[in-house]
A and B are shown apart, each in its own frame.
Chain A
Amino acid sequence: MNLSLLILLPLLTALAVLVVKKPSLVRIISFIGSVLQLGLAIFLYVAYSQERANGNFDTMLFTEQWSIFPSMRISFHLGVDGISVAMIMLTSFVVLAGVLVSWKVEKMTKEFYLLLLLLAMGAYGFFLSLDLFVLFFFLEVAVIPKYLLIGIWGSGKKEYSANKLALMLMGASALVLVGILGVYFAAGKENRTFDILQIVQNVQMSPDAQKIFFPFLFVGFGVFTALFPFHTWVPDGHSSAPTAGSMFLAGISMKLGGYGCLRVATYLLPEGAKEYANIIIILSAIAVLYGAFATMMQKDLKYINAYSSISHCGFVLLGIGMLTKTAITGAVMQMVSHGLMTALFFAVIGMIYERTHTRIVAEMGGLMKAMPFIMTVLFIAGLCSLGLPGFSGFVAEMTVFMGSWENADAFHRIATIAACMSIVVTAVYILRAVGQVAMGPIKASYASLGDASWNEKLAAIVLIIGIVAIGVAPFWLNELVTPGTEVIMNRLGVH
């Protein structure tokens, strides 16, 4: 399996989009490109599983390496473990769905798709990189398109939101950069490298240095995944972004942060992780509950989903902070689950908005009658969000809970129970919103609205397949992710 293909494919699709003129051709090329990405991601999963089944227990598989800056030991080094395979599959699902729901974008179609594809490329590159420098490069590649997507195709106070998002994420990137440099320079002169595997093998970073640089990396990446109290770009950014933009933002970009917290911060600086674990737990438990309560008061569907994302992403960081194998596996599952679910949620909000031209919950009602398909999808997204068995959210949350409960002291217990309490609050806000939108008496002006078109249906089905595949048969994801978390656990040296 040639991993660079996964980066080349979106890049080539983007170039092809750049060349052609007709919007319809742009759409078709992007669609074909994203179908191929999905195929490639599934192929990667199969190849990866086979390799593992054949007894290849290397930490990273399918590695490729080209030296690009030998004097500083920077190389284009790619490789995957189960965690990255899971993230790549997530990305490919969301990309395909995002391309499909954007079918009707008329304004600067070409540029729109170009940015989506560049964003996808950045995400793939980020998840594949084994070199911190390259990883950072791809992280930035994934930020810039968001600024333009919101600024140009957004709605509402889009300039404000675009600025806020870009500045906060850039600030976060600066922290990440400091952290990466700290890791780089902590090594002796001969050992300095950006290569993750080399750092793990050869560099003995002193616990003090780890404790200094861990916060930079963790907070930096944490901002991406809505770490409390640096989460405020999430509601504004998501609600101003165009539909596909929100999907990519919540489905993919926020996962860059979670992945970075795990792969870079926790994996490279285990002593730092142990030092700050309790603070992470406090902040993420706050995010889980506080995000859920704040959601209850939101009136706009996009704000509801954005705040609920803060709450759900809190589970990711909570799982990481708990430092048990089960909890970290749960954190990865939650990333995948939340990515699919929230993309579905934003997609369906976009579909509703296109028809009703409002996102205010109180202005809707009884839409089940006019658009049964869209409302069923809304129900599925909502039920997944509130953790109904059969959908992915349940599996991920329960894994986090079980893993958290393995820590037997009072502090961890309280944090876990606090996080568990969110399942009730989530049920409240989801049922309030979904119930109000789909059920109740319908407004006369909405009665004649049409249901989903083929592209919208396909987009929803793609994401639902992902959600159900995890929810009904979670063992495959568990088997995929667990070896990856074991490596991190060994590095942490707990258990």
Chain B
Amino acid sequence: MELTTYTALIVLLPLLGYLLLGLFGKKIFGNSSGLVGTALLLVTTILSFYVAYTYFFVLGNVNGVYQAIKPLQFTWLEFSPGMSIDMGLLLDPISCMMLVVVSFVSLMVHIYSLGYMKGEERYPTYYAHLALFTFSMLGLVLSTNIFQIYMFWELVGVSSFLLIGFYYNKASALAAAKKAFIVTRFADLGFLIGILVLSFYSNTLDISTLIQRLTSPDGNEMKTAVAASFMGLSALTWGLLLVFMGGAGKSAMFPLHIWLPDAMEGPTPVSALIHAATMVVAGVYLVARLFPVFSMSPIVLDFIAYVGAFSALFAAIIACTQTDIKRVLAYSTMSQIGYMMFALGVSGNTSETGLGFTASMFHLFTHAMFKALLFLGAGAVIHYVHSNEMKDMGGLRKKMPITHLTFLIACLAIAGVPLLSGFFSKEEILLAAYQKNMLIYGIALFTSGLTAFYMFRLYFNIFWSKPYESAHESHHGEGGFVMMLPLVLLAIGAAFAGYIPFGKYVSFNGEAHEGHMDIMFSIAPVALAIAGIGLAIFLYKKENEKPGKISASLGALYNSAYHKFYIDEIYLFITKKVLFNVIARPAAWFDKNIIDGMVNMAGDSTVWISGKIKGIQSGKVQQYALYFMAGIIGLVLLLVYVWK
């Protein structure tokens, strides 16, 4: 079947690219590596669009309900009957949507990097790693088996590690790469144990079977999973919480978010692809993938909702204080993913309450467009001024007209200004929260005002504020066609993606979900967005004293937000002081001195004893005769004693 071939090729072509560029990149392809990688990815993207089109409009919809299609599935590793890791391809609304997002953004980043990374010493390696990432991410979204997800999940993690640490001789890049990997690995420990728990009760690793078994309240599997309890929570709840822990790690949810800002050490196009549009939403995708099971446990859903909402607010506050433009965007990403998370958390599994699911996926889609655009725009700015700091920028709107315009569109979109994509998806999320939980709605509403504020703070600081002065006049201008084309294409996406009738295609159960916009409902968020933008205009359009005064008057609050609420320091304390000094160091000491000490003692004491008793073997006949006589007397005495 051609769909099978095409879908398989979508995954395999990037893998081919990785192998080709990884093995022969330096020797054979050299400076054409980028073109090779981009060409392969172009084919992948075309195939992804084709497959998504075929799914949504030709094959997927049976009697008004989107069905999951598995064009391919084979057993990869069988543990016991029924329990096996299968490799397969799964087409359903969310995987097809992700196919489009991942391949499109990846293609944009590939093209953009042709200009941005030009002349880089490890240019072929860069494209090889990009291909590896794309392969892993596509494999992840197409997974049919929960262990398959876990495997690609880890591969995504390692490609992220490699790309964050791309400038490997920079100590800070190395530290950031390690941090990202280890923090997410810690979260993955939860994911792994969660898989063990869920698979134990459902007796399968296949996602669709697992969902089916753990959502039918009368089934045996479900009964035992709910009946078994540990510390007051059912096994099902524990399993889901642990799986969510994995998702929270990848998606940088509080308190596992600390790796994301540091991950900005990687090349900026990488941040756009991995740390904005695709990998960091893997956690959201994971929860969405298992949503039917999650919806069985209201405790877990509430937990997800609160974690998401808190992360959204927390990150937005920090974003208002950062001066490194990539870090502002990183916190903004964390905040927006928080929106997607809590949207899933407030969603239910009936057609009345299922809005949150659709909204979350919708926001994932639009966010990918405008956030990738923001990062690529930021990359162009950094490329131009050779700095990440706001203080080195300002007044760039004349120097970089295309970047300026596209960046503005993205800022308007993320701020939720009507008629742009972010407005539609954010409205849906707010509506879903409003229907379920007023507290979360309140947080979300306030955060959307903050979002508009910090985004326009960023915008004005880069493009307005003061006239641009620099010691060196930039020699390459705004960046060539290859860097501007992705900006324009993404800007089109960021502007118009909101008009896709998303609910028709993506919903928790495959049935069309009618979205309805309510003008009255939109008044509050839009007003807040405009207020946020207005405040930013007031403070940052022209360079002035006001921001400094305000931050000074906020004192401790501003300082702790500026220092990211000292979460990093807490982690450092736990790892350095506790793990290293309280566990690892004593373990190493114990091994060297106690255990090995006993071994040495055994050796030494043998030597000592033999030294003491070797005198017995003196070679003197008289002495031996003495021992002999003493022995005989002893034996006789013993014999007499025993006889009695």
**Interface residues of A, Cβ cutoff 8 Å to B:** 163-164, 167-168, 229, 231-233, 290, 293-294, 296-298, 325-326, 366, 368-369, 383, 386-390, 394-395, 398-399, 401-403, 405-406, 408, 416-417, 420-421, 423-424, 427-428, 431-432, 435, 438-442, 473-475, 478
Q: Closest Cβ of chain B: how far from A330's Cβ, in Å?
A: 9
A403 neighbours in B (Cβ, 8 Å): 79
Complex partner residue of A440 from B78, B79, B169, CB under 8 angstroms: B169
Contact yes or no, B192 A402, CB < 8 A: no
Q: Closest Cβ of chain B: how far from A400's Cβ, in Å?
A: 10
Q: A164-B599, A296-B580, A431-B181 given. 13 additional CB < 8 A pairs?
A: A167-B603, A229-B595, A294-B584, A387-B154, A388-B158, A395-B77, A398-B85, A401-B192, A402-B80, A402-B199, A439-B169, A439-B177, A474-B77
Per CB-CB distance, the 7 closest pairs between chain A and chain B, nearest first, are A297-B588, A389-B151, A439-B168, A296-B584, A293-B587, A232-B596, A427-B185
Complex partner residue of A298 from B165, B177, B588, CB under 8 angstroms: B588
A-B contact pairs, 29 of them (CB 8 A): A167-B603, A231-B595, A232-B595, A293-B583, A293-B587, A294-B588, A296-B588, A297-B584, A368-B169, A389-B150, A389-B154, A394-B154, A398-B147, A399-B79, A402-B79, A403-B79, A405-B196, A416-B196, A420-B192, A423-B192, A424-B182, A424-B186, A424-B189, A431-B182, A432-B178, A438-B168, A439-B173, A440-B170, A475-B78
Assembly CA distance A37 to B181 (angstroms): 40
Contact yes or no, A232 B151, CB < 8 A: no
B193 neighbours in A (Cβ, 8 Å): 417, 420
Assembly CA distance A168 to B598 (angstroms): 12
Contact yes or no, A439 B174, CB < 8 A: yes
Assembly CA distance A402 to B584 (angstroms): 27
A441, closest chain B residue (CB):
B169
Q: Does residue B585 face the partner (Cβ distance < 8 Å to A)?
A: yes
Assembly CA distance A474 to B79 (angstroms): 11
Q: Closest Cβ of chain A: how far from B596's Cβ, in Å?
A: 4
Assembly CA distance A229 to B598 (angstroms): 10
Contact yes or no, B185 A297, CB < 8 A: no
Assembly CA distance A284 to B155 (angstroms): 28
Contact yes or no, A424 B185, CB < 8 A: yes
Assembly CA distance A475 to B151 (angstroms): 16
Q: Does residue B76 face the partner (Cβ distance < 8 Å to A)?
A: yes
What 0/1 pattern do residues 469 to 506 of B give for CB contact below 8 A with A? 00000000000000000000000000000000000000
A423 neighbours in B (Cβ, 8 Å): 185, 188-189, 192
A421 neighbours in B (Cβ, 8 Å): 189
Q: Does residue B152 face the partner (Cβ distance < 8 Å to A)?
A: yes
Complex partner residue of B182 from A298, A406, A428, A474, CB under 8 angstroms: A428
B78 neighbours in A (Cβ, 8 Å): 475, 478
A478, closest chain B residue (CB):
B77
Q: Closest Cβ of chain A: how far from B588's Cβ, in Å?
A: 4
B543 neighbours in A (Cβ, 8 Å): none
Contact yes or no, A475 B603, CB < 8 A: no
B77, closest chain A residue (CB):
A474
**Interface residues of B, Cβ cutoff 8 Å to A:** 75-80, 83, 85, 147, 150-152, 154-155, 158, 161, 165, 168-171, 173-174, 177-178, 181-182, 185-186, 188-189, 192-193, 196, 199-200, 579-580, 583-585, 587-588, 591, 595-596, 598-599, 603
A429, closest chain B residue (CB):
B584
B583, closest chain A residue (CB):
A293
A438 neighbours in B (Cβ, 8 Å): 168
Q: Closest Cβ of chain A: how far from B348's Cβ, in Å?
A: 31
B172, closest chain A residue (CB):
A440
Complex partner residue of A442 from B161, B169, B182, CB under 8 angstroms: B169
Assembly CA distance A167 to B188 (angstroms): 42
Assembly CA distance A401 to B193 (angstroms): 9
B165 neighbours in A (Cβ, 8 Å): 435, 439
Contact yes or no, B77 A293, CB < 8 A: no
Contact yes or no, B75 A475, CB < 8 A: yes
Contact yes or no, B154 A388, CB < 8 A: yes
B595, closest chain A residue (CB):
A229
Per DSSP, chain B at the interface is helix
Q: Contacts A232-B595, A389-B154 hold; do A294 and B587 have CB atoms under 8 A apart? A: yes
A325, closest chain B residue (CB):
B80
B170 neighbours in A (Cβ, 8 Å): 440-441
Q: Closest Cβ of chain B: how far from A465's Cβ, in Å?
A: 13
Q: Closest Cβ of chain A: how far from B247's Cβ, in Å?
A: 17
Q: Contacts A298-B588, A403-B79, A440-B168 hold; do A164 and B603 have CB atoms under 8 A apart? A: yes
Assembly CA distance A388 to B181 (angstroms): 12
Contact yes or no, B182 A366, CB < 8 A: no
A439 neighbours in B (Cβ, 8 Å): 165, 168-169, 173-174, 177
Contact yes or no, A402 B196, CB < 8 A: yes
Assembly CA distance A386 to B174 (angstroms): 18
A386 neighbours in B (Cβ, 8 Å): 185
Contact yes or no, B599 A388, CB < 8 A: no
Assembly CA distance A423 to B189 (angstroms): 7
Q: Contacts A294-B584, A421-B189, A440-B171 hold; do A388 and B75 have CB atoms under 8 A apart? A: no
Q: Closest Cβ of chain A: how far from B591's Cβ, in Å?
A: 5
A329, closest chain B residue (CB):
B79
Contact yes or no, A475 B76, CB < 8 A: yes
Contact yes or no, B174 A440, CB < 8 A: yes
Q: Contacts A402-B83, A420-B193, A424-B185 hold; do A293 and B200 have CB atoms under 8 A apart? A: no
Complex partner residue of A435 from B177, B189, B588, CB under 8 angstroms: B177
A366 neighbours in B (Cβ, 8 Å): 168-169
Q: Contacts A405-B196, A420-B192, A439-B168 hold; do A290 and B587 have CB atoms under 8 A apart? A: yes
A231 neighbours in B (Cβ, 8 Å): 595
Contact yes or no, A388 B155, CB < 8 A: yes
Contact yes or no, A232 B154, CB < 8 A: no
Contact yes or no, A232 B599, CB < 8 A: yes
Complex partner residue of B169 from A326, A369, A416, CB under 8 angstroms: A369
Assembly CA distance A290 to B588 (angstroms): 8
A171, closest chain B residue (CB):
B602
Contact yes or no, A293 B169, CB < 8 A: no
Assembly CA distance A399 to B83 (angstroms): 11
B168 neighbours in A (Cβ, 8 Å): 366, 368, 438-440
Contact yes or no, B171 A293, CB < 8 A: no
A424 neighbours in B (Cβ, 8 Å): 182, 185-186, 189
Assembly CA distance A364 to B151 (angstroms): 32
B147 neighbours in A (Cβ, 8 Å): 398
